[in-house]
Structure 1
């Protein structure tokens, strides 16, 4: 076992201490940038069809539809050239149905099914660049594997907000960092944000959904990638279904959550809990009150509990309600609050055990399981929220700070409200995944994106694929080539596999040199490339995905 930093906490639930404003400051509000062609910025990549104007029609099948291109201003320090990696965030130039991909290598005959992923695909609209990558309108990409062949498709999610903006010829909605325009702030606050469906995919009970943090799931046709509309899952979802549901195989259930603010006698932040059975029927499992409005991105499930780590990243709700800045601008890191741990029993969701430990932040959990009186939770842990600054500067092309996230194990003892944290590996990683068969039980292997070391964070996005041993801390990682930036690596087991790592990793990658997107198939044990499937055009970075077996 790796002997990492261990921190013991015996604190019980208590009133929150006085707030300490020290720590990471609120994210600065960015001015809206009008695109221009002068200066050191690279010329925009625009197709001839794009130059003819905004195309509103749609075509099915292999013939693509070019999307409205935008001149893009690369935000860089005065006098400095734009970093080469910024080309990864260029707009999706063409959407299309399934068409044959150029395959380098040999695809396994046993690999059969469709790999889906979503991510921001437009850097702005109507000549205005979005202030943050997370504001980008989502597009769902897919690769269909069958008989040693691969076909690929990609389509922009036609959200209600995007359609409304195109009708009016201008941006009308808030986003992660974009503030809404006056006098549109007079609309109810939760109708001001555009559901971009740009974060994660859920394939369950024969249906496919693209997910976004602050709204309802968007259903996608799994065969054509057409947008079918947002869904309230049978009336269970009032406002939001967050982007990271988790399946518990032994219960044949997918659990999810959403954060909302109830109105009435003052705003009350709440955590809605959801359970979806094998037939796709969703019910509200319970509601957990929150002491403030936090940014909660993920959680984890065991066979008996749901576990949340509520970091002290507070949304200044009053300012947001009255239209003073966007969501990101109103995020404040308040370390004196500590991180609150919520343990929700599945058999009695109202009997929540909650206590505080030291302040830290996490985007993503890895896995969790029951071990006697303890709950073991693996996650990617950050010391604070400097990763928020790193993401914002990444989008701007500005000098980057070091803000590593590391594989960490939390051992929780709810009966005595203890939390012990152990760092398991030093490699800076993100977007962790495990074998689906290992969910809710002890696992050994974690796959992720990574930087080669902490210093590499100053040079750009994660550019490596990693395999971590959660017990020994051993890490192997590899580059997919210069200028190639991988997305989340999803594990697909080989038919009849008995080993945890017997199968393939599927991932989308953005190649800024070739200006073409790819889907890689890697050997999950060695990380060697089995095959590379190339799209004809550029594909912006993908975030989270799902696999639908044939």
Structure 2
């Protein structure tokens, strides 16, 4: 890091080497007695090995953290995923090349990268960490120990995957999107039943493949939004360039909307809209002959470049924030209307999951107070009225929010909002519990260290693990 300039949030990009297990936490405030379960969070947690540093934040080694709430108080654990990527780095005392945005070498291509640091799911009593590669990692939810690497062996020549599978709470099915360099290359959608049987729903041929971080599913359709940030399929299978550098932004291409019938796998429509770059879809549902898709849209993919480490220095550039955006896909008239929702800019948008695949009103997000700055506030927005309320605290940087309803039948957005917050002045992180209806603090559970900035998180109620 340049000694003349150290961003105040720089500690969020620093490695954390210590691992802890079931460590009791001190709590300020009053914990809600009905909040019983475990919050898990995944993200890059180590950036240097053997005097060598990664070239991009998303090349940091995956660190899983948990905060457990129960009748005996709050405990925390954190543990690095024992991926083959991480184990090789420790054995060789160096940082592997050929990850997300590091210079590659032939024998360590993108295919061998199982550094699943982007997302985490809990399904069929399995805790799974995912990245954008064909490998994910199964984790023991109690000890956070790595169980095994899971590979998509049923896919032919899979070169990348969305780290955000979609779960249908009504049918119990899981939908996955993969990018494959097959014959022909294209997008492959698979469906896994609640019993664990996986079938291929469809393969949509495409001469170029978009950067597919997430996608949407409704009761009738699967929707793929392909922005003009694309790569040739063969380049994704090569080790000649870092994974990210295979993609090229061409705003003139606009965005393609691919609509697939989830019952038959047939491609129903291919439509166009303005150029946009979206990492995260928020929610989607059917409305007659229309499909409504909400996503967090950037003007371009510069957010990825802003997270690069420049010669070991932490990211200090301009951090763009996306706008929650609604796509109204009119299948009858074959057109797409695209407009921003009435809420502040922000990432990691989440809704009350009980409203998944149907219209929602309340949207939670983490965003910046000032344009270009890191995330420093949490917002609850009513997307119908545009009214929002927020939480922020001096020198504090919150992560992805998680909504937990008070009861199964409580009104939309009534419950608790959880996140991990980094207090850069105290040089410690804390688990924050907010009243989600009013965005007022209920409690802070203080961790013994400063956790690096994370990515996605989830809450697993105690009854879901017993």
Is TM more than 0.5 here? yes
Question: What does 1:446-465 align with in structure 2 at a 5 Å threshold?
Answer: 446-454=363-371, 457=372, 460-465=373-378
Q: Does 1:527 align with 2:433?
A: no
Deviation at 1:186, TM superposition (A): 5.5
Structure 1 residues 506, 279: closer, same or farther in 2, change over 3 A? farther
- Contact 2:420–2:430, Cα closer than 8 Å, also in 1: yes
Question: What does 1:412-431 align with in structure 2 at a 5 Å threshold?
Answer: 412-425=329-342, 427-431=344-348
Q: Does 1:392 align with 2:308?
A: yes
TM-score by length of 2: 0.92
- Contact 1:98–1:152, Cα closer than 8 Å, also in 2: yes
2:172 matched to which residue of 1?
252
TM-score by length of 1: 0.79
- 2:94 paired residue among 170, 176, 198: 170
Query: What SS does structure 2 have at the residue aligned with 1:288?
Result: strand
Structure 1 residues 321, 501: closer, same or farther in 2, change over 3 A? closer
Deviates more, 1:436-445 or 1:269-278: 269-278
Superimposed CA distance per residue, residues 431-451 of structure 1 (whole angstroms, 9 cap, x where no aligned partner): 100011000110000101011
Q: Does 1:540 align with 2:456?
A: no
Deviation at 1:498, TM superposition (A): 2.3
Tell which structure's C-alpha radius of gyration is larger: 1
Structure 1 residues 443, 163: closer, same or farther in 2, change over 3 A? same
- Contact 1:88–1:511, Cα closer than 8 Å, also in 2: no
Q: Does 1:367 align with 2:283?
A: yes
- 1:482 paired residue among 386, 389, 394: 394
- 2:427 paired residue among 509, 515, 518: 515
Q: Does 1:305 align with 2:218?
A: no
Question: What does 1:498-513 align with in structure 2 at a 5 Å threshold?
Answer: 498-513=410-425
Q: Does 1:341 align with 2:257?
A: yes
Q: Does 1:294 align with 2:213?
A: no
- 1:403 paired residue among 288, 304, 320: 320
Query: What SS does structure 1 have at the residue aligned with 2:209?
Result: coil
Number of aligned residue pairs: 460
Q: Does 1:435 align with 2:347?
A: no
Q: Does 1:86 align with 2:86?
A: no
Deviation at 1:194, TM superposition (A): 1.9
Deviation at 1:154, TM superposition (A): 0.6
Query: What SS does structure 1 have at the residue aligned with 2:306?
Result: helix
Deviation at 1:148, TM superposition (A): 6.3
- State the distance in 2 between where 1:375 and 1:315 align: 27
- Contact 1:427–1:453, Cα closer than 8 Å, also in 2: no
1:204 matched to which residue of 2?
123
- State the distance in 2 between where 1:128 and 1:186 align: 18
Identify, as 1 or 2, the structure richer in strand.
2
Query: What SS does structure 1 have at the residue aligned with 2:307?
Result: helix
Q: Runs of 5+ in structure 2 lacking a partner? A: none
In the TM superposition, structure 1's runs of 4+ consecutive aligned residues that sit over 6 Å from their partners are none
Q: Does 1:218 align with 2:140?
A: no
Query: What SS does structure 2 have at the residue aligned with 1:258?
Result: strand
Deviation at 1:536, TM superposition (A): 0.9
1:10 matched to which residue of 2?
none
- Contact 2:11–2:450, Cα closer than 8 Å, also in 1: no
- 2:163 paired residue among 233, 240, 243: 243
Structure 1 residues 146, 295: closer, same or farther in 2, change over 3 A? same
- State the distance in 1 between where 2:420 and 2:190 align: 30
- State the distance in 2 between where 1:545 and 1:402 align: 21
Root-mean-square deviation (Å): 2.3
- Contact 1:431–1:449, Cα closer than 8 Å, also in 2: yes
- State the distance in 2 between where 1:369 and 1:123 align: 40
Deviation at 1:283, TM superposition (A): 2.9
Deviation at 1:413, TM superposition (A): 1.1
Deviation at 1:475, TM superposition (A): 2.4
Deviation at 1:234, TM superposition (A): 8.1
Superimposed CA distance per residue, residues 354-401 of structure 1 (whole angstroms, 9 cap, x where no aligned partner): 122221111111111100100011111122223233333799456533
1:154 matched to which residue of 2?
78
- State the distance in 1 between where 2:9 and 2:441 align: 23
Structure 1 residues 232, 415: closer, same or farther in 2, change over 3 A? farther
Deviation at 1:527, TM superposition (A): 1.1
- 1:140 paired residue among 58, 64, 67: 64
- Contact 1:232–1:238, Cα closer than 8 Å, also in 2: no
Deviation at 1:170, TM superposition (A): 2.4
- State the distance in 1 between where 2:314 and 2:149 align: 34
Deviation at 1:533, TM superposition (A): 0.9
1:106 matched to which residue of 2?
30
- 1:227 paired residue among 141, 146, 160: 146
- State the distance in 2 between where 1:509 and 1:236 align: 39
1:35 matched to which residue of 2?
none
